[in-house]
Structure 1
Amino acid sequence: MKPSLKTIAEQAGVSKTTVSFVLNGRGEEKHISTETQRRILETAHRLNYQPNHLARSLSTGRSYTIGFVVPDISNPFFGKIARLVEAYAEELGYSVMVASTGERADKERMILEAFKNRQIDGVVLAPSSGESIKYTSDMPLVCFDRVFSKETGNTVDVNNQETAFLLTERLINKGHRRIALISLSSFLPNIAARIKGYQEALEKNNLNLDERLIKDIDEKEKNRDVVAAVSELLAMEEPPTGFLFLNNVLAAQGIWTINQLFPHLADSLHFASFDNLDLFDFALPKVTSALQPSERIAQESVKMLMHQIEHRHAMNGVCFSTTIIDR
């Protein structure tokens, strides 16, 4: 039998009205403490309380659904963030609709328009372009990973430039003087910042920037392009011995390339990667990586979105530091 609000209230030690506010997503609006909200939600979950979503939506004017839109949900970084966003949103009584854009601005716009037509309450977005954000002007939005503008607030970012600088310098400190950069489209703000960090590290350590060591990878053909780029670099008269990959998917393909085509070089090369994979713990070449704080990114994204849904105004953006894992 479905538990009543009275039963939940009694077991949580609060009033029925407080339970109603929390289960209808109005806890913040009514200034109910985070601890009290947590206790009510845990009690409701333990008692297997199933809300009447239709009645709830009619009474509050909300769908209690948010969107999560990223370029590629199969990317381990985005997949982990998706699972965490779903968990945090579920604690607040929201479900999550997930979509991938394939780095296509036109598809991103279609997805955002479809979400608006379904009257979802807001979106957590890793945008493929700054243009797409215009289509969400009347819908709560939080941008993470790719921050095209910090002026509007509601952004969750990491210290991309500093991290790329530190990764490049780790390779330099290990004795590498020829360091290749395996990059993606530099029009993305996070990628542009990482490229700048790489360049600054070379300059600080009095190493010349050799444009031939920088390879741009096509997102749609990344597996093929990484193989071609690494092979071309290693065929140079003075080949690089260090490689900085600007995301973990590129680094994983680089590891495959070395082990399949150049296994005799696996011990002499050293990789650095933005973001981490468990694979890096036992892979050759060794990989120094930057771990992004996935839990904090997901939690802050949900927190910002819920604040905007409740209060209809933005919070200040945040920028988290990464953790360098030296191998």
Structure 2
Amino acid sequence: MKVSIRKIAELAGVSKTTVSFVLNNRGDEKNISSATQEKILAIVKDHNYKPNQLARSLSLGKTNTIGFVVPDISDPFYGKIAKHIDSCAEERFFKVMIANSHEDKNKESELINNLISRQIDGIILASTQVFESNKYKGVPLVYFDRISPNQKDSFIDINNQYSTEQITKLLIKRGHSKIGFISLTSYLPNIQDRITGYKNALIDSGFVTDENNIIDIDYNNKKESVVKALKTLLCTNNCTGIVFVNNVLAAEGVWALNTYFSELIEKVEFACFDNLDLFDYSLPKVTSVVQPIEDIAKNCLEMLCDQIDNSIIHKGKVLKTTIIER
């Protein structure tokens, strides 16, 4: 038989308000005796009472749910972040709603507004847009991966420019003087920083930067676009080193090189942002920047929870990367 709070109150000989306080872990706060609390909880257990989550959320002003919005959940970087966010959130009794914007600004805005309408407690966002501050007023929000240059608060980032400069210099150190750069969504600040790092490495090493060696591929047609980009860089521009803006494009590059340009495998070296295990045994092997995924997830959630629970807005934080040299 389905039981209500009213019925539990009758069985326990207390008011509905007292039952509500106990179920919301406020019994001690309201000076309800331990014996009464234990009696109520025993009745709840015996009758397998399940609270109405919507009503409970409305009464508490909190849903214990957060949103996680990213441009491409199939990207291993975002998938790993999602996994760690979910684990960290579970420890804090939050559920995570994952949404995929598909690199579409309008879809992203629609998703976020939909989450807000569902009374989400807060959002962790890797945006397709450039924001100076939280434009979604009234909802706690933490940015990661894609950060506006002028943003000061509520973000977790890594040093994109320095990291890309270092992997480009590794290719130069190995004797490559013509190095191409294959990019994606280059209008975003983090991608601009990676391009700047690539250019700085060339300039510091005494080479001239050539804009023809920087190719921005089509997000909706990655495979064919990478093949076309490699054909231009390797066969027309005579590049022998390629830096990829992320591991997804680098993986496509490994496939394309083996499928269409296998005669160049021994002459070409790749480097990229983010790592994949397959780069340990792929040909060519890929030198990779490794982002601190667990730390990014942990810091994002801690920063968001401080906004939700305590209205504390933290300054942005920049974390360090490491490099796997292959």
TM, length-normalised to structure 1: 0.82
Kept in 2, the 8 Å contact 1:69–1:101? The answer is yes
For residue 318 of structure 2, what is the aligned residue in structure 1? 319
For residue 268 of structure 2, what is the aligned residue in structure 1? 269
Q: Deviations over 1:55-88 (max 9, x none)?
A: 6524421000000000000100000101110110
For residue 288 of structure 1, what is the aligned residue in structure 2? 287
Percent identity of equivalent pairs: 45
Kept in 1, the 8 Å contact 2:133–2:151? The answer is no
1:52 Cα offset (Å): 6.8
Counterpart mapping for 1:141-160 below 5 A: 141-149=141-149, 151-160=151-160
Computing the radius of gyration from Cα coordinates, the structure with the larger value is 2
How many angstroms apart in 2 are the aligned matches of 1:323 and 1:131?
A: 28
For residue 309 of structure 1, what is the aligned residue in structure 2? 308
For residue 20 of structure 1, what is the aligned residue in structure 2? 25
Counterpart mapping for 1:4-15 below 5 A: none
Matched residue of 1:235: which SS? helix
How many angstroms apart in 2 are the aligned matches of 1:114 and 1:132?
A: 22
Kept in 2, the 8 Å contact 1:70–1:125? The answer is yes
One-letter amino acid of the counterpart of residue 104, structure 1: D
Kept in 2, the 8 Å contact 1:152–1:314? The answer is no
Matched residue of 1:290: which SS? strand
One-letter amino acid of the counterpart of residue 240, structure 1: C
1:299 aligned onto 2:304? no
Matched residue of 2:25: which SS? helix
Counterpart mapping for 1:180-259 below 5 A: 180-236=180-236, 239-259=238-258
For residue 8 of structure 1, what is the aligned residue in structure 2? none
1:265 Cα offset (Å): 1.4
How many angstroms apart in 1 are the aligned matches of 2:83 and 2:261?
A: 36
Consecutive unaligned residues of structure 1, counting only runs of 5 or more, are 1-15, 22-49
Consecutive unaligned residues of structure 2, counting only runs of 5 or more, are 1-20, 27-49
How many angstroms apart in 1 are the aligned matches of 2:133 and 2:103?
A: 14
Aligned residue pairs total 283
One-letter amino acid of the counterpart of residue 180, structure 1: G
For residue 122 of structure 2, what is the aligned residue in structure 1? 122
Kept in 2, the 8 Å contact 1:144–1:157? The answer is yes
One-letter amino acid of the counterpart of residue 258, structure 1: L
Kept in 1, the 8 Å contact 2:132–2:150? The answer is no
For residue 61 of structure 1, what is the aligned residue in structure 2? 61
Q: Deviations over 1:287-315 (max 9, x none)?
A: 10001110000000000000000122311
Kept in 1, the 8 Å contact 2:131–2:148? The answer is no
One-letter amino acid of the counterpart of residue 76, structure 2: P
How many angstroms apart in 2 are the aligned matches of 1:271 and 1:310?
A: 45
One-letter amino acid of the counterpart of residue 269, structure 2: H
Kept in 2, the 8 Å contact 1:84–1:298? The answer is yes
Q: Deviations over 1:109-143 (max 9, x none)?
A: 10011011000000000011025965412110000
